[in-house]
Structure 1
Amino acid sequence: MKVNLLSASFKEETSKTLSLAIPIIVAQLGSILMGVTDNIMVGHYLGKIGLGVAGIANSIAFVISSIGIGGLAVVAPLISKAKAERNIPEVNRLFRAGWWAAVWFGLILGAIGFICVYFFDIFQQSAEINAKSPTFMGIIIVSSFFTFLFIASKQLSDGLSRTYVAMIITILGLVFNFVFNAILINGYLGFPAMGLNGAAVSTLFTRILMVIAMLAYLYKAKAFRKYLNRKYNPLPVSDLVKYIFKIGVPSGLQFFFEIAAFSLAVIMMGWLGENQLAAHQIAINVASVTYMMAAGLGVAGGIRVGEGRGLKNIQKIKMSGNVALLLVIAFMTLMMFLMIGLDRFLIGLYISDPEVVKIAVRLMLIAAVFQLSDGIQVVALGILRGIADVNIPTWITMFAYWVVALPLGYFLGFTLKQDAIGIWIGLFAGLTMSAILLTSRFYYMVGKMKKSEQYSLETAGA
């Protein structure tokens, strides 16, 4: 990856990528902080059992919804491509098709989620966690339906480079979730004290309000009127719904394979004990914050690459990919040092149990080290999505997490008796494998494009 960091084109692309990425990062951060807020407040009010319940229920619900979250993410690059081609009717059709895809994802994945709720005992957790998790998880599964609708809606604003819209709504949602967590968990202001389930109900209400706010803004703001003009409503969208599923399901599976690996790690931690489960939940919560911020850079990189694809400009595609990768390397290196320096402070936000803290400190060190690999692989997936390359990356992620990470983690953790540390070393190995293979795949695809007559080799500002 040869890049002239002082060139005007590099500086311009960096500026444009950051202007897109910062609001997406804040929105991604706000979204993941809802779960973090739930875990912190549950941990403080209800202790390590409550933290374990919220952690495993949220993890399982998230791994199920990950297919829809990753699948719907393909729409923004497609909208960016249509915008570069000045195809307004196509933007409209993509927005409506994304909504239909979100509904189908919600129904199908919701059904799978409730099957898991009904058979929760198969996860082999402690008796108390088995008893308290299903209701909490059921509420979270319902709220995931509205997450899909929100993601589908924000693809329009993100694809049109107005990423601040979702950012503002997500921040407001975070504040609302925090307030209603306190009210519903403890029964303030005349509300019933719902305890653990209050956090789940708060998340449900918050996600419903976020969908309403996003749609209200899109349909009232002048910037979106030409794309949402009713004259386009008769245009069919069934072909685009099928196309979104065609490239979205592999894209969603990429997300699923990683999230599922980490969620299975949560289950394995439960086999080791409640202290290990709580410590893992703390470390993975902190790591998930930086991951979602890196994922924001991946989304922005995908949008910029998608625009280059619409312009059929190979230099722009490569430059956008280079910039996104260099930015995430710099960002995740900084996060690595911060996590090492602030480990005990961050753990103290969750819990003070000395046994949990002892395990969590060791896990935080590994979490800090794998920041770089985690950031590179999620951005590589984003820029590959921008060129609609989803099938081979899906196989790469399956190999990295299910052939490398999980078997190695189980072997180290249980066979070699390395406990929680062994499981996390396996996860680190899988992330590193994914980062290497996905980055190589992007530059391989760029090389193939150079040989195609469809793409220009000239640099074009966009």
Structure 2
Amino acid sequence: MEQTFNNKQKLILLLKIFIPILITQLGLYSMNFFDTTMSGKAGANDLAGVAIGASLWVPIFTGINGILMAVTPTVAQLSGSGKIKDIPLSVIQAIYLSLLISIIILVIGMIAIDPILNQMKLTKEVRTISKHYLIGLGFGIIPLFIYTVLRCFIDALGHTRVTMMITLLSLPINIFFNYVLIFGKWGFPRLGGIGTGYATTITYWVILIVTLLIVIKAKPFNSYQLFRNYYSIQIKYWKDLLKIGVPIGFAVFFETSIFSAVTLLMSEYNTITIASHQAAMNFASFLYMIPLSISMALTIVIGFEVGAQRYLDAKAYSFLGISFAILLAFCTSIFLYNFKIEVASFYTNDPRVLELTAQFLLYAILFQMSDAIGAPIQGALRGYKDVNATFIMAFISYWLIGLPTGILLAKFTVLEAFGYWVGLIIGLAVGAVTLFWRLRYIQTKKFKQDAEISIA
């Protein structure tokens, strides 16, 4: 990371950080895509079992991952302020915290997995596959969360290309072990959908080992000497991380779980409607990787500038990132409007599903515009370490405004299933507008603090 002096330099640096993050996010998205499609090749029960298991795991993973994302603004601000010696201690404390969280998740999983699955109306085969898929995945929780901490450390220093390369390395590893474990190739047992859980675990261990080697051996990370000194557990640092991380985790959880809730509510409609909704939502999630990646890039650059107390530069990055996201959303919206049938054909050949998916994709255009404002603002606020407003607004906008509005529109208007999408769009828009004013308030507050310090 380095200081920039004009908007051109800022845009170049933002792009250098954003593009590898986008490729990384698309790589992670692809991993889930291959898990699903390859399980489907093994059979309908395998596909259903993996889908159920993933639906239970993803909200938990994204929530916990959000907590550990506190490492990014913490390290970025320490780097910007020149407090380099404090970085190793903060990262090691985050690793300790990730180990504790991993153990808690594993214990809860051992106790709760059977009661939860038994409450669902699943066939014995699907229930068994779901359970053992989650068990297989459980062996990878510890390396996954440690890797998340190290990834945030690397990204916070501006070296997002490194984590991009690690993610790209993980894809062929995951696909290979999916292939040999799902279908029982080259002497491996044929595990069906269960094999994706173990394949994912193997992948997590490999990328953790690779990341550790990079952090220990490669420049500039080896200069921080993360593992050279022993650090005892220091609750103060845990409190600081949790103070930032817990609101981030809950905000991400509220955001991901609302879409699961809508999918469950969609079960009252026919199979064609459900399939069309799922296909359109899948592509909308794919496009969301763009504003999400801009959001993550803004957290890094703004955290760096705030740490250096260059608040004018931090503000410039905020509006540069938001403007860039809106421009890209405008481009993807034009693409989606003109090629909605072609996009829908990626998911189905059924003419009825094709037509309805195309209609849902029109609503996805409005998703893009709301996300283009809301997601970057969330990233900017995290760069300022202002996370409570995002957490509160995620709950209010999604669960108190978006979902109830969607239910009312679906139940009592001609929109029917589309009503849920309109409700989500309204919730996203309310959240985006509210967070925009929060960002303006934080920026004004920082300027006043800076002026008072200068006068003193």
TM-score (norm 1): 0.88
Alignment equivalent of 1:82, drawn from 78, 81, 95? 78
Matched, 1:403 2:403: no
Match of 2:68 in 1: 72
Match of 1:41 in 2: 38
What does the per-residue CA deviation read over 1:50-70, in whole Å, with 9 as the maximum and x for residues that have no partner? Answer: 555444432331111222111
Q: What letter corresponds to residue 79 of structure 1 in structure 2?
A: V
CA contact (8 A) 1:76 1:155 kept: yes
* CA drift at 1:347: 4.0
Match of 1:334 in 2: 331
* CA drift at 1:86: 1.9
Matched, 1:298 2:288: no
SS in 2 for 1:370: helix
CA contact (8 A) 1:68 1:106 kept: no
* CA drift at 1:425: 1.9
Q: What letter corresponds to residue 158 of structure 2 in structure 1?
A: S
Alignment equivalent of 2:283, drawn from 272, 283, 286? 286
* CA drift at 1:363: 2.4
* CA drift at 1:127: 8.5
Q: What letter corresponds to residue 214 of structure 2 in structure 1?
A: Y
Match of 1:211 in 2: 208
Matched, 1:250 2:256: no
Label 1:293 to 1:200 Cα distance change in 2 as closer, same or farther (>3 A). Answer: farther
Alignment equivalent of 1:380, drawn from 374, 377, 380? 377
Label 1:122 to 1:422 Cα distance change in 2 as closer, same or farther (>3 A). Answer: farther
Which blocks of at least 5 consecutive residues in structure 2 are unaligned?
Answer: none
Alignment equivalent of 2:304, drawn from 300, 304, 307? 307
Which blocks of at least 5 consecutive residues in structure 1 are unaligned?
Answer: 1-6, 458-462
Matched, 1:19 2:43: no
CA contact (8 A) 1:23 1:164 kept: yes
CA contact (8 A) 2:341 2:355 kept: no
CA contact (8 A) 1:308 1:316 kept: yes
Alignment equivalent of 2:91, drawn from 90, 95, 117? 95
CA contact (8 A) 1:118 1:134 kept: no
Q: What letter corresponds to residue 448 of structure 2 in structure 1?
A: K
SS in 1 for 2:25: helix
Structure 2: distance between partners of 1:142 and 1:395: 33
Structure 1: distance between partners of 2:402 and 2:292: 20
CA contact (8 A) 2:130 2:194 kept: no
Structure 2: distance between partners of 1:388 and 1:270: 39
Within a 5 Å distance, the mapping from 1:73-222 to structure 2 comes to 73-113=69-109, 115=112, 118-122=115-119, 132-140=129-137, 142-222=139-219
CA contact (8 A) 2:67 2:244 kept: yes
CA contact (8 A) 1:117 1:137 kept: no
Q: What letter corresponds to residue 76 of structure 2 in structure 1?
A: S
Match of 2:236 in 1: 239
Structure 2: distance between partners of 1:112 and 1:180: 27
Structure 2: distance between partners of 1:344 and 1:124: 35
Work out the number of aligned pairs and report it.
450
Within a 5 Å distance, the mapping from 1:409-424 to structure 2 comes to 409-416=406-413, 418-424=415-421
Structure 1: distance between partners of 2:10 and 2:306: 15
Label 1:196 to 1:339 Cα distance change in 2 as closer, same or farther (>3 A). Answer: farther
* CA drift at 1:335: 2.4
Label 1:376 to 1:142 Cα distance change in 2 as closer, same or farther (>3 A). Answer: farther
What does the per-residue CA deviation read over 1:113-164, in whole Å, with 9 as the maximum and x for residues that have no partner? Answer: 5525531354567888666544334444554443322211111111111111
CA contact (8 A) 1:33 1:289 kept: no
CA contact (8 A) 1:309 1:317 kept: yes
Structure 2: distance between partners of 1:420 and 1:407: 14
* CA drift at 1:46: 3.4
* CA drift at 1:408: 1.9
CA contact (8 A) 1:40 1:350 kept: no
TM-score (norm 2): 0.89
Which segment drifts farther, 25-34 or 178-187?
178-187
CA contact (8 A) 1:413 1:422 kept: yes
What does the per-residue CA deviation read over 1:317-344, in whole Å, with 9 as the maximum and x for residues that have no partner? Answer: 1011111111211222222233344444
CA contact (8 A) 2:72 2:153 kept: yes
Label 1:53 to 1:323 Cα distance change in 2 as closer, same or farther (>3 A). Answer: farther
* CA drift at 1:395: 0.7
CA contact (8 A) 2:143 2:205 kept: yes
Q: What letter corresponds to residue 66 of structure 1 in structure 2?
A: T
RMSD (CA atoms): 2.8
Label 1:195 to 1:368 Cα distance change in 2 as closer, same or farther (>3 A). Answer: farther
Within a 5 Å distance, the mapping from 1:58-69 to structure 2 comes to 58-69=54-65
CA contact (8 A) 1:449 1:455 kept: no
* CA drift at 1:354: 4.9
* CA drift at 1:261: 0.5
